[in-house]
Homo-oligomer: A and B are copies of this chain.
């Protein structure tokens, strides 16, 4: 059996309170006593029992991160960022994957592990605005990530979807593209990443006086590589002319690039491509992919900080909780090969 506080106290010849004081770095412990306690701890290989500590203190030092799937590089990178931010603040992260359907998200939110964490970082995917009320019922501090739900009573960290996509589109316009495909739209969606990003695209065209061609707005329900590839196949089959692509995320862009290359299109000479997310992979694809870096580390840090603040607010049982906050992170356009045309050599599409 593992050593307990009492064992340490006995070996050190003090009371458990003193041992507890030493462990928790309380002041008012005579150096020599501390010494003796530390020696006893080392001798016994004592480690505090976290279950007991949690039970007593009402805190676990763990937060859960609810995401769709780690195989999706965006979420793997987000998870890494969150774990780094959390561990810098002394927290552990319990990652919970959800199936992507509404039921599974709800059941995880309400789920059994709830009692094992101090708070939840929830990257909303399947729920929508109409579920905002459901979130209020979860009796745990929570911070929302993503763009599916606004105006709930929860803190929310999100990226500048419209601005980012507008900048991406402007970048393509600036290097000479005129027939730019928007890849990844969700017809009818207004809020949500797809709706917001489409808006940014339209704003950019509008500002440049370039007419909108509905055939250039390409639908893609899911945003994985395979979806980008499939979409590009139908675009080519339809014979639509285009000289640039703003993909609503990097995976779509990478999938589309693969199909274009098979079809003999040169990137960026024939078609310039830009994505969104700044996945690690965009630095290594052929060609390397220009993209919008949406401030993911900042999202992670901000979200963890906000959650921690909520947890502490709750612990100190103060009057009324602070108003929900909404934070938008800074984005940055990263230009790589897929949009870098040789100087003085405009796109070859001749439009």
Contact = CB atoms under 8 A, between A and B. Distances in A.
Interface in A279-310: 280-281, 284-286
Interface string A258-290: 100110000000000000000011001110000
A55 interface: yes
Contacts of A222: none
A51 B47 contact: no
Given A76-B70, A94-B94, A116 B50 contact: yes
Contacts of A115: 2, 47-51
Interface stretch (A77-85, A142-150, A157-165): A77-85
Interface string A96-127: 11000000000000001111100000000000
Contact of A76 (B62, B71, B92): B71
A339 to B, nearest CB: 18
A71 B286 contact: no
Given A71-B280, A76-B71, A286-B258, A93 B95 contact: yes
A338 interface: no
A113 B94 contact: no
Contact of A92 (B47, B94, B139): B94
Nearest to A258: B286
Copies in the complex: 2
A61 to B, nearest CB: 8
A69 B79 CA distance: 10
A347 interface: no
Interface string A216-239: 000000000110010000000000
Contact of A262 (B92, B95, B258, B286): B286
Given A60-B116, A225-B284, 12 more contacts: A49-B55, A50-B116, A51-B51, A51-B55, A51-B60, A54-B55, A70-B70, A80-B97, A95-B95, A226-B284, A258-B284, A281-B281
List 10 tightest A-B contacts by C-beta distance, closest first: A51-B54, A51-B55, A76-B76, A50-B115, A50-B116, A225-B284, A70-B80, A70-B76, A258-B286, A52-B55
